[in-house]
Amino acid sequence: MRILGLLLLAALAAGQEDPLAAARSRVRALESEMQAVIAKVAPAVGAITNYMALFDEKTGKVAVAPRSLGSGLVVTPEGFMLTNVHVVEGAGYLTVALPGGTYPAKLHADTSQGAVKGDIALIKLGGETRFPFVDWRIGDSKGVEPGTFVLALGNPHGHALDGVPMATLGIVSGKGRAAAETGFLYVDVIQTDAEINPGNSGGPLFDMDGHFLGINGLMNSRQGRSNSGVGFAIPVDQVRLFMKTLLKEGETTGYGFHGLAVDSTPDESGARVTGVQGGSPADEAGLRANDVITKVKGETVRNRTDFVNAMGRLPEKTVVSLTYRRSRNVKTAKFRLASFADWKESVGKAAPQGPLPLAERGFLGAEWSEERTGVRLARVVPGAAADRAKLLGGDLLLRVEKTDVPTAKDLVACLATLPPGTKVKVAFEREGKKREVLVVLSGVAEAAGVEK
């Protein structure tokens, strides 16, 4: 009705004889355009289910259970899908429902390695050799302006688990927004009133030509977790800055760390430096408190928001140039944005190593019982690590590498720091004979028997 009203006003202003009929005709034309766009892109939009890992340390049993829902967009024919980190983090197992079927998926790479975690993730679908996709290289988020019509597709509240995405229509409400209240970094993002509800996270935002504009990821609501007309999408132009690394390396990366804290100057003539972290790239480049930054990579900086948007969207290893004022002198500095993890390690702030989260651990893929004589296998999961190594139910485990494992607690501790794919020597006893095998540890899904 909102669109009909706008078109009716336009028809009246144009002095048409039957403005209502003219408005209805234009609405039908707009409907046809939207239907064509949705039909074009929907086959590449998926509903993601994140299954959390469950592990019984006493018995060794590994299982998965649904934890959360989200959305994603297939962006290459090989099945790489863009989504949000918060949709897939901590997953023991992922599935993606597309119009063509439901497929297993694995996290390939993400942008969570930063002072504040980025919310771009790339997952890889299995089960097919070619998938319908929307090319991530096409689309221009810089060119959209407030008032531009947009479509959000995804899996709101789990209503697209049949593989058919839901669509909502809205406009671009604003550009260059910043928000970090969720614990994820959202800078220089698109604001839209297209409805983004729980389950829409990770899904695509399109223009009316079906071009990919961004990844829907954050909604602003003060009354529960329902849409209030204020949603945010990470622009595709920002996503592209990370895609080469995400696709090629398949590793965790992050937004670049510079080490500066800034505030706006009273006259909005720049961003005043209020602090510089020791050993950071900015510190090594000579930036000091009270310097006033006026440009980042040639972009004018009027205030803190301009600085956050210009610097905050850049990946680690990006070379940046700054123009700044110190007293009455204009100076320049150039430095490479660091990995936040590397900087912490260099200044002695690296986090201590401990057991891996369940979703990141390697498993034997076997169930056991603890006896007076040690830990005895009760069964092995078909196709999982123990089965591939020819271990059998009834085998008595003796050692993992050079560590004795007389109890289940000892066995779990030996494996808790090792990721899937790690090769370990396992000594065991079968029918009174001591033997040794090399075991390649399974991931959660394989150890749970849901992925062969």
The residues annotated with a catalytic role in the active site are 86, 119, 201
Q: What is the DSSP track for 405-447?
A: --SHHHHHHHHTT--TT-EEEEEEEETTEEEEEEEE-B-HHHH
Using the structure block, give the residue that is written with the tokens 């080490």.
259
- Among 397, 395, 430, smallest CA distance to 411 is for 397
Alpha carbons 98 and 95: distance in angstroms, whole number: 10
* Distances from the Cα of 39 to the Cα of 44, 136, 207, 447, angstroms: 10, 18, 14, 38
Structure tokens of 262? 């800034």
Structure tokens of 46? 């998926």
Describe the crossing of helices 2-13 and 19-41 by its angle, rounded to 10 degrees: 130
Contact call for residues 133 and 198 (beta carbons, < 8 A): no
Structure tokens of 18? 């039957």
The amino acid present at 40, given as its one-letter code, is: K
The count of other CB atoms within 10 Å of the CB of residue 309 is 20
Q: Where are the alpha helices (DSSP H) in 226-350?
A: 236-249, 281-284, 304-312, 340-346
How far the first Cα of the chain sits from its last, in Å, is 51
Alpha carbons 278 and 268: distance in angstroms, whole number: 27
Alpha carbons 301 and 332: distance in angstroms, whole number: 14
Is residue 4 within a helix (H) or strand (E), and if so which, with residue range? helix 2-13
SS3 content of the chain, % helix, strand, coil (to 5): 20, 40, 40
Q: Where are the alpha helices (DSSP H) in 58-144?
A: 85-88
Checking DSSP bridges between strand 292-296 and strand 271-276, what pairing results, if any? antiparallel
Output phi, psi for 284, to 5 deg. Answer: -70, -25
Contact call for residues 383 and 363 (beta carbons, < 8 A): no
Structure tokens of 344? 């912490």
